[in-house]
Structure 1
Amino acid sequence: MTRMLASVTNAHEATTAIQAGVDLIDLKDPASGALGALPLTEIQAVRSVVGGRHPISATIGDLPPAPAETADAIAALRGMGIDYVKVGFFSAAHLDACLPVIADLSPTQAIVAVLFADTETARADLEPFAKAGCAGVMLDTADKAAGRLCQHLDLATLGQFVARAKSLGLMTGLAGSLRITDIAALQRLGPSYLGFRGALCHDGRRGRGLDPQRLRAVRQSMLRHSLAELT
């Protein structure tokens, strides 16, 4: 069954997401980029609130293709007990520079590689990520003003991504300005997670706080479509 990921920016939002029944709490600063990183103090505050009740993922930031900087950022989160560390692959240079880092660190930290539907990594070969020890791969969008996931890649291509990742034993995620109207079609592809931020916020704006009503609506829609697939 496809689970729901909600990106939050602080402990209050994490509590709101938990109350709505979200499966995975994702720590991200939307004001700092597609995978903007939260301060470590804020991450610690969220961990205290979640208290092990839900898995937590956290981004390392929109970093350049720099092995040492990437390794340091992953190591900092590893020391905080984060379940999944998300690393962005924005270019071919990131693939060359950062996959060896993941291969070194994946034995001690579950890492999810994030590819971007609006960049050259959208159709990257997934096998190197599996060989590097990634726990999963995710498709997102880098430029939120340039279109949503489903505007960059059609359902057939997204389905191929999910199927290929599954064949390699990788967890899968789809995100990128997803709307509640995207849920039915995307859930049928069978990803491990659908990720949301803007759709959960006041006025649908990712820079604003989470709206409990929007959260519940997305959560109920996901549950409804999951039940429909079982019947």
Structure 2
Amino acid sequence: MARLLVSVRSATEAVVAHRAGASIIDVKEPDAGPLGMSPWPTWIRVRQALDESVPVSVALGELPEWRSEVPPAVPSRAWSGLAFRKIGLAESGPRWRGDWFELMRRLDGSGPSWVGVAYADWRSAGSPSPDELLEAAGDSPETVGILLDTWAKSDRLRIDDSLVHWSGRVRERGKFLAVAGGLDASSIPGLDVLEPDIVAVRGAACEGGDRRAPVVASRVERLAELVSELGRVPCRRG
């Protein structure tokens, strides 16, 4: 059965989302981009606000942010209790694969597992294609899953036969599949053809559908209900 992930900006939102049916809590800052990184003290407050059994993931922005002269500084204690971490590859250039692997090595140790990020609108993002990302992630034992997302949050994920085939290859490589990208109550039922393990939302869980507005319990409840229905009716891959 697919699980609902809700991205939050605070411990208060995390508690609201989990009590309303979110199985996984993700911490990110919408004002900082599609995978905007929240200050690491926010990670700790979110982790402390939830039961230890609730998986918590964090977004780390885009790879070029970690190549800067002053990259983000994260103390080892900030990773404690986290389940996953992910970083986008927008505008990462031809050296993205080596730099991505190097960053994972640099942040290794007792930290959480990695989730590779494939942008469906990869040309606009200047990121590797989903096929390239999957090939690299398949060679990375630290990477346990793949997130299919959209870089431009004004765009919704568009599913075609190529993505259906690609989603099958994700599982063939032994990774879980998370799907995001402007999803809402009307588009979640159509995800059945991808057979996602995780459905990830932000805006759809917020007041008025605005990803910068607060998370609303009633919206999360409706999304959790829709996600729970995925996979109950067998579907045929294209």
Band the TM-score falls in, shorter-chain normalisation: 0.7 to 0.9
Corresponding letter in the other structure for 1:143: A
On the 8 A contact 2:118/2:146 being kept in 1, the answer is yes
**C-alpha spacing 1:71/1:139, structure 2 compared with 1 (3 Å):** farther
CA-to-aligned-CA distance 1:25-71 (integer Å, 9 cap, x gap) = 11111011111111111111100111313111101123417558899
Q: How much has 1:130 moved relative to structure 2?
A: 1.9
Shift of 1:157: 2.4
What do you get for the CA RMSD once the two structures are aligned?
2.6
Instruction: Give the count of matched residue pairs.
Output: 226
Contact 2:41 2:78 in 1 (8 A): no
Residue identity (%): 28
SS state at 2:61 partner = coil
1-side partners of 2:78 and 2:145: how far apart?
16
Of residues 99, 106, 112 in structure 1, which corresponds to 2:101?
99
Matched, 1:196 2:208: no
How do residues 1-231 of structure 1 correspond to structure 2 at under 5 angstroms?
Answer: 1-64=1-64, 66=66, 76=76, 79-90=79-90, 91-93=92-94, 94-102=96-104, 108=110, 109-120=112-123, 121-125=128-132, 126-133=134-141, 134-145=143-154, 147-150=155-158, 154-229=159-234
Distance 1:32 1:67, change over 3 A: closer
TM-score normalised according to structure 2 size: 0.84
Measure the CA separation in 1 of the matches of 2:12 and 2:44.
Answer: 13
Q: Extract unaligned runs of 5+ from structure 2.
A: none
In terms of fraction of residues, the more helix-rich structure is 1
Cα distance in 2 for residues equivalent to 1:39 and 1:192: 28
**Over residues 111-131 of structure 1, what are the superposed CA-to-partner deviations in whole Å (9 max), with x where a residue is unaligned?**
011121112423332122121
Asked if the contact 2:63–2:89 (Cα under 8 Å) also holds between the matched residues in 1, the reply is: no
* Maintained 8 Å contact 1:23/1:55: yes
Query: Any stretches of 5+ residues in structure 1 without a counterpart?
Result: none
TM-score for both structures, normalised by structure 1: 0.86
**Distance of 1:70 and 1:174 partners within structure 2:** 31
In structure 2, relative to structure 1, the CA distance for the partners of 1:8 and 1:139 (3 Å cut) is: same
**Structure 1 runs of 4+ off > 4 angstroms?**
65-78, 103-108
Secondary structure of 2:117's aligned partner? strand
